[in-house]
Amino acid sequence: MITVLAGGTGSVKIIRGLASRSSKDLTIVSNVGDNIWLHGLYICPDVDTVLYGLAGILSERGWGIKNDSFCFLDQMEKLQQDVWFKLGDRDIATHLLRTALINQGKNLTEITEWMAEKYSVSEKIYPATDSRLETVIVTDQGPMHIQEFWVKHQGNPTVRDIFYKGAESSTANPNLLNSLKNSELIVIAPANPISSINPILKVNEIGELLTKLRKKVVAISPLIGEQAISGPAVKYMKAMNVTNSPLGVAAYYSDIVGNFIIDSSDSILSSKIASLDMNVFQTDIIMKDPRDEQRLASYVKSLPF
Ligand code: FO1
């Protein structure tokens, strides 16, 4: 059994690669720090990216449903509503049903299980917590929800700090913790360490449990050289004084990760990463198409530990 800790766009590629071989033994723990209430709907972007990715309906953009239309949004604009967050018409069906189930008293884990079944996804997807946990970006223009920072303000404000509102009182589903304990391998996807993975680690018991399971945890670097493979990782890392390099990511994860995969082009860093008490592996970590996804997934599964 394999469990993957995941964010959104960057993570879904390795998840698809792993799923293409062993769907029933794959569990995904999804970040919830990006979740947001808009227009009375509860939107869980990272959960949905994984769901749509595994259902084969993810848009090429890396979020939302492929070939979606935006008539709802056009109408909202005519009614002078905020339309900075592009909700597609088909995508809205997911948010609408999720919100209805929340209003019926179901928790996010139950709802996600129900959704996975409706989308014919056989992999288990756990939201990192059913508690409210929100990533807040503190900027020169004040604190704002991560979606406001990244989508509404296009990542432009200067970042001063990042925190996870609600993390102190968050709890993890016992089945999620069991899945981590029972996994032969725990994979940290090549995701943003600050905004995708850390909100998962901040959930009470998850980070602590992973320190005990460190030897079977492998992280795939989300950076090659000083650049993120995608997204705003470097901006967030600099704001949190984490060096923007695979070594910086490895040091950031060193309490919970015993194995680290870097791109072959970063081989010069391997002895420094190894000195963090990690096994270091090198391969081509860029995933441009399904063949790359399967190749990296096979590599991860064949690691000798
Ligand atoms: N990202 C954008 O850059 N612009 C959008 O308008 C946008 C809308 C959106 C709607 C639904 C959804 O599930 C995701 C959406 N995203 C959008 C992606 C999202 O902001 C982030 O990429 C994730 O939160 C990071 O994992």
Mean pLDDT calculated for residue range 296-301: 96
Q: Count each helix (H run) and each strand (E run) in the chain, helices first.
A: 13, 14
Q: How confident is the model at residue 8 (pLDDT cuts 50, 70, 90)?
A: confident
Per-residue pLDDT, 232 = 87
CA-wise closest residue to 134 among 161, 165, 172: 165
Per-residue pLDDT, 230 = 84
Strands 124-127 and 26-30: parallel
Nearest CA to ligand 1 atom 2: 151
The CA distance from 298 to 9, in Å, is: 20
CATH class label, 35-127: mainly alpha
Pocket lining: 53 vs ligand 1, CB cutoff 6 Å? no
Which residues pair with residue 261 across a beta bridge?
220, 281
Q: How confident is the model at residue 12 (pLDDT cuts 50, 70, 90)?
A: very high
Q: What is the pLDDT of residues 266-288, one digit of tens each?
A: 999 999 999 999 999 999 999 99
Mean pLDDT calculated for residue range 249-268: 98
The CA 243 to ligand 1 mean position distance, Å, reads 26
Q: Compute how many other C-beta atoms are within 10 angstroms of the C-beta atom of residue 243.
A: 15
Residue at token pair 């056989």: 122
Q: In this structure, are residues 73 and 86 in contact, taking their beta carbons and an 8 Å threshold?
A: yes
Pocket lining: 48 vs ligand 1, CB cutoff 6 Å? yes
Pocket lining: 10 vs ligand 1, CB cutoff 6 Å? no
Q: In this structure, are residues 252 and 208 in contact, taking their beta carbons and an 8 Å threshold?
A: no
The CA distance from 54 to 46, in Å, is: 12
The CA 83 to ligand 1 mean position distance, Å, reads 12
Pocket lining: 8 vs ligand 1, CB cutoff 6 Å? yes
Q: Give every CB contact of residue 106 below 8 A, 6+ residues apart in sequence.
A: 114
The CA distance from 285 to 193, in Å, is: 16
Per-residue pLDDT, 231 = 85
Mean pLDDT of the chain: 96
Mean pLDDT calculated for residue range 53-74: 97
Per-residue pLDDT, 268 = 97
Per-residue pLDDT, 103 = 98
Q: What is the pLDDT of residues 121-131, one digit of tens each?
A: 999 999 999 99
Q: How confident is the model at residue 22 (pLDDT cuts 50, 70, 90)?
A: low
Q: What is the pTM of this model?
A: 0.96
Q: In this structure, are residues 220 and 187 in contact, taking their beta carbons and an 8 Å threshold?
A: yes
Amino acid letter for position 207: G
Q: Is 72 helix (H, G, I), strand (E, B) or coil?
A: helix
Across the beta sheet with 142-145, the strand order is 142-145, 134-139, 159-165
Mutate to test the pocket of ligand 1, among 68, 73, 82, 86 (most ligand atoms within 8 A of CB): 86
Per-residue pLDDT, 169 = 96
Per-residue pLDDT, 23 = 55
85 CA: nearest ligand 1 atom: 6
Q: What is the pLDDT of residues 129-169, one digit of tens each?
A: 999 999 999 999 999 999 999 999 999 999 999 999 999 99
48 CA: nearest ligand 1 atom: 13
The CA distance from 84 to 38, in Å, is: 11
Q: What is the pLDDT of residues 164-194, one digit of tens each?
A: 999 999 999 999 999 999 999 999 999 999 9
